[in-house]
Amino acid sequence: MQRIAYWSIPIIAIVVTVLVALFLVQINTNEPLAIQQPLSSSTMESTPARVTESAWLDRFSQSEQEGFFYPVNEIFITLDLHRHVVKERAFTLSAFITNQYQLFCLQEELKQRGFRFFLKKVREGTELLVYSKDHNQLQSLVKALKSYKITAKIVPYKEVKNG
């Protein structure tokens, strides 16, 4: 029983290899192509069925259908760029944090107030950026941060245009 199990795996591997090799030889025959000139209606009738099957592209191009429809939905969007744009003032609160305690206190205050914020690591510490449209909420946050000895300033937000 052990001998059968011992020799069965290499025998199966050899049989699979032979079958794969035969399959590759069968699909990659070196027969020359019978079609060296474009097909016309007279050559289509006189050629064997195998050549006719290989010329499906020519038959497809001769069909009545005038176009190919891609399976993609087309979406057209019309934008009214002349509509009055309401300008809302946005503000940026920026602060510089130098130690871990200040960072912890700052994160707790921001979580409590529900602000979304951005922390950026710089060489000397961490820089905080908070964007908001409500100046009063930012002002109350600045007062709360002063109790943790964190200096913060509020400036109007200006979008930086590249290029």
**How many domains would you assign to the chain?**
2
Mean pLDDT score, 85-114: 83
Q: Is residue 118 a part of any domain in this protein?
A: yes
Residue 133 DSSP class: S
Count of CB atoms within 10 A of residue 113's CB? 15
**Between 102 and 65, whose confidence is greater?**
102
The answer to whether the CB of 159 falls within 8 A of the CB of 91 is: no
Query: What was the pLDDT predicted at 153?
Result: 85
As a whole-number percent, the residues of the chain with pLDDT over 70 amount to 67
Mean pLDDT score, 104-130: 84
Q: What CATH number is associated with residue 118?
A: 3.30.70.120
Q: Is residue 125 a part of any domain in this protein?
A: yes
- Both 57 and 102 in one domain: the answer is no
Residue span of the structural domain in which 45 resides = 2-27+38-61
Q: In what order do the strands lie in the sheet with 126-132?
A: 117-121, 126-132, 91-97, 152-156
Rounded to an integer, what distance in angstroms lies between the CA atom of residue 134 and that of residue 110? 14
Q: Is residue 151 a part of any domain in this protein?
A: yes
- Both 102 and 152 in one domain: the answer is yes
- Both 104 and 47 in one domain: the answer is no
Q: Is residue 162 a part of any domain in this protein?
A: no
Q: Is residue 67 a part of any domain in this protein?
A: no
- Both 54 and 102 in one domain: the answer is no
Name residue 13's amino acid: A
Q: Is residue 73 a part of any domain in this protein?
A: no
Q: Is residue 20 a part of any domain in this protein?
A: yes
- Both 50 and 100 in one domain: the answer is no
Q: What is the pTM of this model?
A: 0.43
The answer to whether the CB of 91 falls within 8 A of the CB of 155 is: yes
Residues 6+ apart with CB under 8 A from 116: 130, 131
Which domain-ending residue is among 46, 61, 76? 61
Q: Which H or E run includes 156? A: strand 152-156
Residues 6+ apart with CB under 8 A from 105: 148, 150
Mean pLDDT score, 110-117: 86
Of 30-34, 108-112, 152-156, which one has max mean pLDDT?
108-112
Question: pLDDT tens-digit profile of 13-33?
Answer: 999 999 999 988 888 766 555
Mean pLDDT score, 100-107: 87
Q: Is residue 14 a part of any domain in this protein?
A: yes
Name residue 92's amino acid: T
